[in-house]
Amino acid sequence: MSVKLQQPITNGGLQNTNFFNGRLVTGADLTREQSARRESVNRLGRAVGEGIAEGLKVGIVLNPENNPIVAVSAGTAVNRCGQVLCLSEDTNVNLLQRLGTVEQESNVFSNCHPLAGGTYAAGFGLYLLVLSPIFTKQGNAPTGGLKNSFAVCSSDVILEAAQFRLLPVDYFLAQQVLPGSKMLRNYIAYRCFGTNETQEIFQNPLEFEQKQYGLLDEMRGKTLSDSDVPLAIISRTANGLEFVEMWAVRRRLTAKTDENWTQLLDDRKISETEAMIKQFALQIKDSNADKNDFREIKAADYFEFLPPVGMLPLATSLSPFGFDLEVFFGGKHLDDIAMLDAENLRPLLREAVSYEPIRTKSDEKIQLYLIRENFTAVQAKKLKQMTVVFAKRGLPYYGTARFDFARWNLSRFV
């Protein structure tokens, strides 16, 4: 297409009905007006980015082997089409029961790809829980000129609503050797992050281009549509739900760009690293590490990757609950356990989102920090639980030199 300056570009323009006194208004006119409004909102949604704006957290409510139920908190999300999906109240979802009605294709959502089909199954295996748009009609409006007979088109309200769907994941892992149950949760999370694929960019950064990577991109267009908002990966075994992993697929609102530097500058990569940090924190929380003696747990037995920064409850003489640093990291941490002022914790976390995760079976050393405010509170016996911060060695050093904490030839100070 070629245009001149100040020439209107009508392709893709929004058609708004021109209302004026004396015009005969038809249903088609009002529908066109609704469609223009809806498309305008969707364009704004696509500009903001896809992901979860608030809420929509998933947790286990009941976990019997024959009737697992998860709870999803109220919240708002935007799908790839720019549609805003809202869950107005906390909702329990029965994972084994499906409403018998057939999903209907909707004119309301016709600008997006239709929901992907497939046989519904909820047996043992891995599943992706998603929130999807759906429409339903309610009530009957009074009509004229139809001799008071029932008309199919006489529904009073078209309700734009949301539904939960459960999509099988195992098919997309069929050609891979899966790890044991200890490692599975971390393995699935980093398959969704696409870590092994994105790290290839550093071998040839000038020519490497990969806009699609990770398990979710593999599912797009097959079982996962652009209308869906991923909420959690769910693992179901003969004993019930093994885990519900949100942060493997949950993302904040993430702006989309069409640039080639996806793995270097895109907002997607930043939001994925933020999710890595939160995924680790949630897995540690779900294990009740602050209530159990995990001093014999090794990171390499449960984690193929660690986030570039994270926090762990530390087992001490005051509290045996938590982890032993030597055992957990397998001696791969630096000898210097530095003191970190609490005000430097946020800058450390923000800096870390630009870094790659830590591969547990590599020779990479890990920097450890104690948070000064937490350390002094434990020393004063105001608290029992000590917290340690670990960070990728390549990150800038955030330790603070303090008397009796800095050690000659160990602390990184001049």
88 falls within a domain: yes
Quote the CA–CA distance of 393 and 317 in Å, as a whole number: 28
109 falls within a domain: no
User: Within this chain, do residues 163 and 229 fall inside the same structural domain, yes or no?
Assistant: yes
Please, how many CA atoms are within 13 Å of residue 124, restricted to the half-sphere of its CB?
7
The pTM of the full predicted model, rounded to 2 decimals, is: 0.86
Question: What band does 210 get if pLDDT is binned at 50, 70 and 90?
Answer: confident
User: Within this chain, do residues 256 and 295 fall inside the same structural domain, yes or no?
Assistant: no
Q: In the prediction, which pLDDT does 138 show?
A: 72
Angle between helices 181-193 and 267-286 (to 10 degrees): 160
pLDDT > 80? residue 121: no
Among residues 239, 273, 307, the one where a domain terminates is 273
pLDDT > 70? residue 98: yes
- Which of 121-130, 284-293, 309-318 reaches the highest mean pLDDT? 309-318
Mean per-residue pLDDT, 190-218: 82
Quote the CA–CA distance of 220 and 232 in Å, as a whole number: 16
- Which of 124-133, 167-176, 203-212 reaches the highest mean pLDDT? 124-133
User: Within this chain, do residues 169 and 268 fall inside the same structural domain, yes or no?
Assistant: yes
User: Within this chain, do residues 169 and 222 fall inside the same structural domain, yes or no?
Assistant: yes
User: Within this chain, do residues 84 and 207 fall inside the same structural domain, yes or no?
Assistant: yes
User: Within this chain, do residues 251 and 316 fall inside the same structural domain, yes or no?
Assistant: no
User: Within this chain, do residues 267 and 326 fall inside the same structural domain, yes or no?
Assistant: no
The average confidence (pLDDT) of the chain is: 84
Q: Is the model more confident about 321 or about 309?
A: 309
Question: What band does 17 get if pLDDT is binned at 50, 70 and 90?
Answer: confident
Mean per-residue pLDDT, 340-354: 93
User: Within this chain, do residues 250 and 297 fall inside the same structural domain, yes or no?
Assistant: no
244 falls within a domain: yes
Query: pLDDT by residue (tens digit) across 256-294?
Result: 876 666 667 788 889 999 999 999 999 999 988 777 788
Query: pLDDT by residue (tens digit) across 284-301?
Result: 999 887 777 888 999 999
Among residues 213, 243, 273, the one where a domain terminates is 273
Residue with tokens 């995760």: 357
- Alpha carbon of 303 to those of 28, 31, 177, 282, 284: distances in Å? 57, 53, 16, 13, 11
229 falls within a domain: yes
Please, how many CA atoms are within 13 Å of residue 374, restricted to the half-sphere of its CB?
19
User: Within this chain, do residues 75 and 194 fall inside the same structural domain, yes or no?
Assistant: yes
Question: What band does 240 get if pLDDT is binned at 50, 70 and 90?
Answer: confident
Name the residue range of residue 254's domain: 28-99+117-142+152-273
Contact between 129 and 92 under an 8 Å Cβ cutoff? The reply is no
Contact between 230 and 224 under an 8 Å Cβ cutoff? The reply is yes
Mean per-residue pLDDT, 206-219: 82
106 falls within a domain: no
104 falls within a domain: no
Quote the CA–CA distance of 166 and 121 in Å, as a whole number: 8
User: Within this chain, do residues 346 and 209 fall inside the same structural domain, yes or no?
Assistant: no
301 falls within a domain: yes
Q: What letter does residue 286 receive in the DSSP assignment?
A: H
Q: What is the CA radius of gyration of the chain?
A: 26
Query: pLDDT by residue (tens digit) across 20-65?
Result: 898 898 888 888 888 888 888 888 888 889 999 999 999 998 777 6
User: Within this chain, do residues 257 and 300 fall inside the same structural domain, yes or no?
Assistant: no
User: Within this chain, do residues 229 and 326 fall inside the same structural domain, yes or no?
Assistant: no
Specify the number of domains making up the chain.
2
403 falls within a domain: no
Q: In the prediction, which pLDDT does 119 show?
A: 45
Three-state secondary structure call for residue 347: helix
The percent of residues above 70 in pLDDT, for the chain, comes to: 86
pLDDT > 70? residue 105: no
CA dihedral sign of residues 220, 224, 229, 233: negative
